[in-house]
Structure 1
Amino acid sequence: MAPPVVRGTAAWKYFGDFRDVLLAGQVLVLQVAHPVVAAGVRDHSDYAEDPWTRLMRTGASLSIYVYGGPAGARVEATRLRELHRTFTGVADGQRYSALDPGAYAWVHATLVKVPVDVQRFFGRPLGQSELDEYYAQMCDIGRLLGVRERELPPDWAAFERYYDSMVAGFGGNPAIDTLFETIRTVRKPAAWLRDPWWRPVRDLQARGQRFLIRATLPPEFRERLGLPWTDRDQRRFTRFATAVRLVSTPIPASLRTSYMRWIGKLNVWFRAHPQAYRLLVRGGGRE
């Protein structure tokens, strides 16, 4: 049993680090690379039509089950499982469920990996003792969310072997194509934002997101997707990563994670007051 996620522990320090947003595009690509996840997104997700609301809901959920305290995490875990129970359909002639154990575990695995990769790219890589503590804490969260024990590798080394073997089996699919198109054409987040102001911001974020996705995906998978990567690209990414590391690493973990911890507390309150939540987030009943 791992220590609870409290101040100073590994998951507390790294899961909500603000640099984690730099890998948001990468983790989404890896999630929808799984065929069951891709089918569920195709049939049940509204992210292409309303990505900003979808982003708010996802951030709220992540913040609760890591930083919302044991009671908040249990409530959110129950809500997520009940929600995903309704996500079923047919893909390639076979019935699927969003609670398919392998697919459900894979989504959790991608979220486990992000903070470790972020520290490797943009911070200080975790030492073995911190990795052990972080992974044990995230396994406890996985169990709380309903990931089966047999789907959780016993330690970090086994987890990395599992993760690499999963990625080795993935290739391109229409869900990944839709994700890239959504990044390129994402709607403005507010109606009052004038189109002439939004278009250059949208194009800049699209170029940045695609660059970070190409930079941080596992190289073999990047090649299978046909995404180019040159020596010049690598030099640009190295300069960017160095700048992020120099600016952000001296910031205490308590500040690097403060936004996500406050979101967690706020959303525990919102989950207890669903009418207020629905006023803030349209369609608050979906993830």
Structure 2
Amino acid sequence: MAPPIVRGTAAWKYFGDFRDGLLAGQVLVLQVAHPVVAAGVRDHSNYTSDPWTRLMRTGASLSIYVYGGTAGARVEAERLRSLHRTFTGVSGGRRYSALNPAAYAWVHATLVKVPVDAQRFFGRPLSTSELNEYYAQMRDVGRMLGVREQDLPPDWTAFERYYDTMVADFEPNPTIATLFETIQTVRKPVRWLPDSWWRLHARVQMFLLRATLPPEFRARLGLQWTPDDQRRFTRFAHWVRLASTPIPAGLRTAHMRWIGKLNVWFRAHPRAYRLLIRHDNGPGARPQTHLS
């Protein structure tokens, strides 16, 4: 039985670390690499026209599971499952559902892996005991989300085998290509941001995406990675590690803990929630995917 997610435990320290955001592009690509997820995003998400609102929604929802308390997590899990029941369609001549057990489990798996990768690249890799505790806690989160028990590997070693096997089977698809185009061409979120800064932001996002994807999958996607790129990334990671590792875990996760608690309140006050996000993101709103 996993310990509850409270201050000082592994999931509390690492799931909301601000460095996880450096892998945002990586996790989106890996999610839509799954053909069912790709079809659902293609048919039911408008992230290409309004990615910033969608990204904030995703972060707000995820924060509840780790930092919003057990009751808040259960309510949010049921809300998401209810919305995802409407995500159906046809892809490649076959019907699909966003609640396809394998696809649903895969999305959860990518979110489990991000904090571990973020620490490996930009912090201090988790110890064996931390990995075991973290994964046990995130298995419990998966259960709350409705991931089937048979789709939750029993321990971290089995999870890594499952994860690597999934990635080894993925191939390029049009949704990934659209995601790359969106990262590089989407309009600025605010007008006052200088165009040169925004172009730099897009280049940095693509660079981090190429740097952090599993190398074999990166090659299958046709993304170039040179020794010079690796040296630049090594320097970047070094400076991020140097600047961020001394910061206490409570400060590195403060934003996500605050968002989690705030969103538990919003879920209990849907009218205020709808007013805040322009009436299209509260309970009963138009369905959105985690990738929206």
Residues 221-259 of structure 1: CA distance to partner in whole angstroms, max 9, x if unpaired? 000000000000000000000000000000000000000
Deviation at 1:199, TM superposition (A): 2.3
Q: Does the residue aligned with 2:143 lie in a helix, a strand or coil?
A: helix
Deviation of 1:198 (Å): 4.2
Q: Secondary structure at the match of 2:171?
A: coil
Bigger shift: residues 129-138 or 264-273: 264-273
Q: Give the secondary-structure state (helix, strand or coil) at the position aligned to 2:95.
A: strand
**What's the CA shift for 1:151?**
0.3
Aligned partner (choices 212, 216, 233) of residue 216 of structure 1: 212
Q: In 1, Cα distance between the equivalents of 2:275 and 2:178?
A: 29
- The number of residue pairs the alignment matches comes to 283
Counterpart CA distance in 2 for 1:200 and 1:75 is: 42
1:111 is matched with which residue?
111
Counterpart pick for 1:256 among 252, 259, 263: 252
SS at match of 2:96: strand
Matched-pair contact (CA < 8 Å) for 1:89–1:96: yes
Q: Deviations over 1:9-58 (max 9, x none)?
A: 00000000000000000000000000000000000011111101101110
Per the alignment, residue 67 of structure 2 pairs with: 67
Superposed displacement of residue 116, structure 1: 0.3
Name the SS of the counterpart of 1:23 in structure 2: helix
| Equivalent position amino acid for 1:158 in 2 | A
Contact conserved, 1:112 with 1:138, CA < 8 A, in 2?
yes
What does residue range 82-97 of structure 1 map to in structure 2 within 5 Å? 82-97=82-97
Deviation above 3 Å: which 4+ runs of structure 1?
Answer: none
Partner of 2:176: 176
Distance 2:45 2:116 in 1: 27
Distance of 1:121 and 1:219 partners within structure 2: 14
Q: Distance in 2 between matches of 1:156 and 1:34?
A: 21
Say which SS state the counterpart of residue 170 (structure 2) adopts: coil
> For structure 1, which runs of at least 5 residues remain unmatched after alignment?
none
Over residues 176-211 of structure 1, what are the superposed CA-to-partner deviations in whole Å (9 max), with x where a residue is unaligned?
Answer: 011111111112223xx15xx442222111100000
Deviations 1:125-169 (A, max 9, x none): 001000000000000000000000000011101100000000000
* Alignment-mate amino acid for residue 188 of structure 1: K
CA distance in 2, matches of 1:199, 1:78: 41
Show structure 2 runs of 5+ residues with no match. Answer: none
Contact residue 185 and residue 202 of structure 1 kept, 8 A: no
Aligned residue for 1:37?
Answer: 37
Give the corresponding residue for 2:78: 78
Partner of 1:207: 203
Match status 1:151 vs 2:151: yes
For residues 46 and 123 of structure 2, the distance between their equivalents in structure 1, rounded to whole angstroms, comes to: 33
CA distance in 2, matches of 1:276, 1:22: 31
Percent same amino acid among aligned pairs? 78
Q: Say whether residues 1:227 and 2:211 are aligned partners.
A: no
CA 273–198 in structure 1, closer or farther in 2 if over 3 Å, else same: farther
Residue 264 of structure 1 aligns to which amino acid in structure 2? G
Structure 2 CA distance for aligned equivalents of residues 171 and 64 of structure 1: 32
Tell me the secondary structure at the aligned position of residue 96 of structure 1: strand
